Structure 1
Amino acid sequence: MTAETGDAGRTENAMSGGRVRGSVIQARNIGRISFAGQPKDDSRERLEAAKARLAEEVRRQWEGEVAAQGLRRPEPIRLQWANTRRAVAVRTATAPPTPAGQAGPTRATTSSVPSDALGRCGDLDGLVQAFRTLPQGHLVMLGERGSGKTVWVMLLTLGLLGSYEPGDPVPVLLTASSWESGNTWVPGVEHLRTWLARRLVEEYPFLADKEAYGAGVAQRLVTGGHVFLLLDGLDEMSEALHAPALGELDDSGQELLVVTCRVAEYERAVERSGRVLSRAVVKEMLPIGVRQAEGFLIADRPWEDTRWQSLLAELRDRPDFPDLPLSRALTSPLMVALARVIYAPPAKDPRELLSLPDLASVERHLLTAFLPAVYRPRPAPPGGSGRVPASYGLPEARGWLGFIARHMARNGTHDLEWWQVAGAVPGWVAGLVFGVVSGLMFGFIGAAAGGPVIGLVFGVSFGSAGFVVQAVPSRRPAPARVEIRLRGTVRVFALRFTFGCVTGMALGFGFELPSWAQLVLGAPFGLAVALHAWLRAPSDATKVASPGLALEQDRVSTLVLGVSFALPFGLTFGTVFAFTDPRVSAWPTLGPVGELTFNTVFGLAGALAGWTVGHLSYGRVGRFAYSAVGAVVSGVVFPPADDPGFAFGTGIAFGVACGLVVMLGRPWGAFVFAHALLALTGRLPWRLMRFLQDAHRRGVLRQAGAVFQFRHARVRDRLTSHRDDDL
């Protein structure tokens, strides 16, 4: 990092990308002692192969995001930063204490950091060379909202990757918003290395491929010092976790670390924890100069377009130029970026900003005008062939984005996760709809099988459970990151098939089926259990996590899970309905209770099946709810069918209904269900993912792995507070 110290201790730095080599990188090998012996050659080769693929995919991911944000059209804003003067870094011998209430010298350990003139963030060579000068490889970059921290860390990541060579740690940029408490009952954050290994697999699913890289390769990358963590947005974590996170970062032993955070949040974290990152140099983003802003505003304009040059030249002649609201606004990279988009059309005149009375008015105007600028009408492409990009009007886009922003604000999150869309529907609404539909669906099946009373039992049982699992909050499963692969699954498939066959035959015995029917029932159970052997970790290294990919992968997993329940449940119901008469069962019964009698063994088998459904799809609440349902609907006694064909037809209907219940509890199924309700009321578009991807292309959203985020938090906050478009 090159720096130049001015009169007041101000340091201006140029950051860009060279080679991160030498003592900063290689120091991780000093003092390391291994008691496990040298690893096998193939293990080392697998590890290096995983690192090489990881480096390539991280590079591809962030190069795509930089391109999507237009940061190189033609170059980024020239940013500047300085050693912080705040009491958030270690005290050094060269930085004497400062009396309270006075501005003091830089308090970060920067005496060994050389100086140089200010440079662009886009100059990647200087960016990495700047990082190489850090004494211990730890850096914290502070900044106010919209100061350019995220752009800075993205370009630093790409600069480091540009010089990556085998043996170097792989730079990986992650957002801190997903780093939460690892234990619901104990305050604090998840261990950094545990979280980092998990996030690596979630962001880059190919690392879970045991055949290619061995078991636990993500954990080995982390614990072996092969990952250089760049953590963006420490302030985006829950405020209660800021101080514990700071302590965990300092204690983690991470050898190379970059953290970005807002100024006030970092100061409070230091104050509450009573500690700092002991090895870190702490920098702070500075306001940009108006000349830097002007250079960015005109960089993509034709030569004859001199609107900004003439306006700013005229203002510079005024004695109050530095204090003008527009001048102050143009010191914020965010406001400059918004102004460039808003005033791109030649018909738009930036002089209208001069009429605004203060800085807050200028910022409010730019934040409000951003969406109309990016959603301005565009001419249709010539011809009629090919897929035409989606076209969204401003009112509908503002309404949908406003709803999304308010939902995120209520949840206290900066991440737009598609699997959390279900939380946008009130629990009682989702429970009422799901309960009524479930009750009617299973009620008709029960009535067809055993008459009105049995139909009522089925309907009330499934309807009540459906309401409870949707209305009562419970931890749901996370999206599955899998794909269907047949190669190399023969042994696992055979073992699972055998286990399923034994389970099916045991169940047939419990339901008192004839011997031949027990054997027949084993096959569908075996197939249902064995199907999951084909769900493997993605092996294609080109598939980096994205919202669309995560949705696709969980959809595959959900459909396979639904089939694996529908097939055995449906055939079991049909077989038992056709060939078993519970009225003459050898198993003990309870009742009669009114007109109903319950078979205890049948009920026990149903409770076990219901527990499995609840466990895999609905969490703790689902386990209890569907265990009770399974016990009731399996244990209730009604006569067998006269026609085996009718019995199996009813069984198929029952199986399909059970499969739907299972799927609607999984992330993709819950998303489809909640999204349909929200789209029916106009709160979200029917093709939500297409709309979000379009918003990403327009620069409203940014992509961070499998989630979207608003590219500018202040735009999100403006949408949250702008209630005129409520539906």
Structure 2
Amino acid sequence: MRRAWTRTLLIVALPVSVLAFVNWARLLSGTGLEHADQRASVLSLAVGVLSLVVSVISLVVTWRAAAPADATDVIHDHLVRRTRRSLEEEATARDLHPPYLQPTRWSGAGGSGTIEDLARHVADLPVRQLVVLGAPGSGKSSMALRLALDLLDGDTRVPVLLSVPAWDPERSLDDWLASTLLQVHPDLRDGRRFGRSAATVAAGRVLPVLDGFDEAHPAHRVAVLRRLRTELAAGRPLVLVSQEKPFREAVQRSGVTLARASEITVQPLRPDEAARYLPVGQHRGTERWRDVVDHIERTPRGRLAVLLSSPLMIYLARVAYDDPRTDPGELLTMTNPEARAALLDAFLPAVYGRRAGPYPAARAGRWLRYLARRMVARDRPVLHWWQLPDLNPATAGSLRLLVGVLGSVFMSIRFGLPVGLITAVVASRAVGAPVTGPRPVRTAFRPAHAAVGLVVGGAWAAAIGLLVVPDEDVLVPALSGLGIGLTTALLTGVAFGRVHDDRVDDGRALRDDRNVLLAVLAVAAITGLRSGLQWNWWMGTQQFGRTAVILLTALGIARVGVPWLRFAWARLLLALTGRTPFRLRHFLDDAHRRGILRRSGAGLEFRHTTLLRYLAAPPDPARAAPSAPR
């Protein structure tokens, strides 16, 4: 309903505003440029006031939108649909659907079973609180994802995968859940459909599945456990996933035990299970894997059986030897460290070789290695688009330098060197400052707001133009009026389009920030063109530069729009130097589809910390090309 209203407004607003502006420009032709400029300036006050009034009215209408009577069920059903689609896509990317689902086993005081039995076990717990522990590479995260997908069937609570390092335990679990749901499911902001408290309602219907406890800083783990002691005291359902050693250490340091939670431990794959699973779904798999399978069955405690008891190593082996031209028997001639290194070396060439795409394996590997190195160096396990400039401080520094120099030059010419230097300092700090919070402020610069501003401005311009005596030249005052109208629309959108920084998803925030920056350039171009036509091209260039610097500085101070500029600048420099591709987001999405990356909220992280550390490590010159398939 709301989108239909916006489209209708745009359809009506654009032609009306164009006609009104043309009429106003024609009527302004009866006075000189000086008087026309004065009237255009006076017009800005009326445009600004009326645009703000109309924007306030539209926002009040949105804020007062009432939720349907059965909002809770509507929210729950919507969340189930969206969560199911997201989890199924993630499970497909990570081969977690039968027959490719590894037969991972678990055991605990309350029983034992396979990955497919865990959802039933959780449903039968007297208090549905579960701690999943296991060794590195044992399949804990895959088990958590499969558990969340299975719990969607017939459960009153919606399982949502969350990353422990992303949680600030100073915030309540409900508060974090609500903001994260809005981040991942921005549709919940639709007040007409779900009501104003949709995220809060949804948070109460969620079963949190907290993964990556061991990836958090030790002090962070202690704080999380202390918060969970309070949050879980009343029996709130929750699943916590961690490596066993970091979890035990955090319990010892914090003195907190999750007394009502059941514990299970993910078990290594048995040799017979690994042997049966290795050839599943591969062309000539039984024939090609026969020597390896026979060896594992003959020596179930041998080195190769131990290596392939890890679901991560089995996954890497299956990917490395997916090509029917390869020979898995090579693994029999290697030591375990050699085999492990060879499988990691072969992973990216195999992934990019088995599925057509625009990225050659060598270049994709170079880009992924750079991102992994910077993520490890900056301690950023999850990558969001606005954090790209922070991975390499030199990119942000060059942007600060550029903005400072341009601001100083353009402002010094008009207002003198002191003003230029002050502008350089303020502008460079405002535009180049990193986002210190978990995510940037989002400015929802909606087309409807701009259309309303243009309609009101155009109508009032036409009315005032009736009082003006016709003259010959109308282009300069017309551009002046257009610039004033666009500036008012821009400032109105920024003033009333700000959204709390928690309520943002990556794609939407990127588009909104980009639109704000494009609006700034449009306003600066109009004012520059006006000055250029009235005087000369150099004066127009100066006016363009001054307007752009002033608006960018104002937006930078308000932390609006500028994160996209920093992202675009960093992406450009990194692409020009060959460190990342120009279409970075497309490349990362492609890497996710190939199973290299996985979703973490609205961000992306490497599939496993082992893979992240491998890619971040410098190449070993002593090791030649991988022995695994090429």
Band of TM-score, shorter chain? 0.7 to 0.9
Q: What is the aligned partner in structure 1 of residue 130 from structure 2? A: 139
In the alignment, is residue 363 of structure 1 matched against residue 340 of structure 2? yes
- Shifted more, 51-60 versus 301-310: the winner is 301-310
Per the alignment, in what secondary structure is the counterpart of residue 703 of structure 1?
strand
Q: Please tell me the residue identity of whatever aligns with 1:158.
A: L
In the alignment, is residue 45 of structure 1 matched against residue 70 of structure 2? yes
- Structure 2 CA distance, aligned partners of 1:314 and 1:62? 36
Q: Is the 8 A contact 1:678 1:684 kept in 2?
A: yes
- Structure 2 CA distance, aligned partners of 1:393 and 1:295? 30
In the alignment, is residue 419 of structure 1 matched against residue 386 of structure 2? yes
- Structure 1 residue 268: deviation in Å? 0.9
Aligned residue pairs: how many?
529
Task: Give the counterpart of 1:442 among 404, 407, 416.
Answer: 407
Q: What is the aligned partner in structure 1 of residue 60 from structure 2? A: none
- Shifted more, 228-237 versus 550-559: the winner is 550-559
- Structure 1 residue 654: deviation in Å? 2.3
- Structure 1 residue 477: deviation in Å? 8.1
Q: What is the aligned partner in structure 1 of residue 239 from structure 2? A: 258
1:133-189 per-residue CA deviation (whole Å, 9 max, x = no partner) reads: 21211011001111111111111111111224xxx2222222222113xxxxxxx54
Task: Give the counterpart of 2:172 among 166, 191, 194.
Answer: 191
- Structure 1 residue 472: deviation in Å? 6.7
Q: Please tell me the residue identity of whatever aligns with 1:719.
A: L
- Structure 2 CA distance, aligned partners of 1:527 and 1:362? 62
Q: Is the 8 A contact 1:326 1:354 kept in 2?
A: yes
- Structure 2 CA distance, aligned partners of 1:666 and 1:361? 47
In the alignment, is residue 294 of structure 1 matched against residue 275 of structure 2? yes
Q: Please tell me the residue identity of whatever aligns with 1:718.
A: Y
| 1:305-344 equivalences in 2 (<5 Å) | 305-317=286-298, 321-344=299-322
Per the alignment, in what secondary structure is the counterpart of residue 291 of structure 2?
helix
Q: Please tell me the residue identity of whatever aligns with 1:289.
A: R
CA 1:475 to 1:227, structure 2 compared with 1: closer, same or farther past 3 Å?
same
Q: What is the aligned partner in structure 2 of residue 176 from structure 1? A: 164
In the alignment, is residue 231 of structure 1 matched against residue 220 of structure 2? no
- Structure 1 residue 336: deviation in Å? 0.6
Q: Is the 8 A contact 1:493 1:530 kept in 2?
A: no
CA 1:335 to 1:58, structure 2 compared with 1: closer, same or farther past 3 Å?
same
- Structure 1 CA distance, aligned partners of 2:127 and 2:165? 26
- Structure 1 CA distance, aligned partners of 2:72 and 2:313? 44
| 1:203-218 equivalences in 2 (<5 Å) | 203-218=184-199
Q: What is the aligned partner in structure 1 of residue 590 from structure 2? A: 694
Q: Is the 8 A contact 1:63 1:158 kept in 2?
A: yes
Q: CA RMSD in A?
A: 3.9
1:16-45 per-residue CA deviation (whole Å, 9 max, x = no partner) reads: xxxxxxxxxxxxxxxxxxxxxxxxx96651
- Structure 2 CA distance, aligned partners of 1:228 and 1:713? 25
Q: What is the aligned partner in structure 1 of residue 326 from structure 2? A: 348
TM-score by length of 1: 0.65
CA 1:521 to 1:148, structure 2 compared with 1: closer, same or farther past 3 Å?
closer
In the alignment, is residue 530 of structure 1 matched against residue 477 of structure 2? no
Q: What is the aligned partner in structure 1 of residue 148 from structure 2? A: 157
- Structure 2 CA distance, aligned partners of 1:564 and 1:445? 20
| 1:350-429 equivalences in 2 (<5 Å) | 350-357=328-335, 359-376=336-353, 389-394=357-362, 396-427=363-394
- Structure 2 CA distance, aligned partners of 1:178 and 1:350? 39
Q: Where do 5+ consecutive residues of structure 1 fail to align?
A: 1-40, 84-105, 181-187, 381-388, 502-516, 538-544, 579-640
- Greater helix content: 2
- Structure 2 CA distance, aligned partners of 1:717 and 1:533? 44
Per the alignment, in what secondary structure is the counterpart of residue 306 of structure 1?
helix
Q: Where do 5+ consecutive residues of structure 2 fail to align?
A: 1-65, 461-478, 622-630
CA 1:243 to 1:708, structure 2 compared with 1: closer, same or farther past 3 Å?
same
- Structure 1 CA distance, aligned partners of 2:144 and 2:483? 58
Per the alignment, in what secondary structure is the counterpart of residue 159 of structure 2?
strand
Task: Give the counterpart of 1:679 among 564, 575, 583.
Answer: 575
TM-score by length of 2: 0.74
- Structure 1 CA distance, aligned partners of 2:580 and 2:443? 28
Q: What is the aligned partner in structure 2 of residue 35 from structure 1? A: none
Q: Is the 8 A contact 2:506 2:603 kept in 1?
A: no
CA 1:681 to 1:644, structure 2 compared with 1: closer, same or farther past 3 Å?
closer
In the alignment, is residue 553 of structure 1 matched against residue 508 of structure 2? yes
Q: Is the 8 A contact 1:574 1:647 kept in 2?
A: no
RCO comparison, higher one (Cα < 8 Å, 6+):
2
Q: Is the 8 A contact 2:213 2:240 kept in 1?
A: yes
Q: Is the 8 A contact 1:702 1:711 kept in 2?
A: yes
CA 1:482 to 1:523, structure 2 compared with 1: closer, same or farther past 3 Å?
closer
- Structure 1 CA distance, aligned partners of 2:250 and 2:73? 37
Per the alignment, in what secondary structure is the counterpart of residue 581 of structure 2?
coil
CA 1:554 to 1:340, structure 2 compared with 1: closer, same or farther past 3 Å?
same
- Structure 1 residue 130: deviation in Å? 1.7
CA 1:717 to 1:194, structure 2 compared with 1: closer, same or farther past 3 Å?
same
CA 1:652 to 1:497, structure 2 compared with 1: closer, same or farther past 3 Å?
farther
- Structure 2 CA distance, aligned partners of 1:485 and 1:668? 17
CA 1:271 to 1:290, structure 2 compared with 1: closer, same or farther past 3 Å?
same
Q: Could you tell me the percent identity over the aligned residues?
A: 29
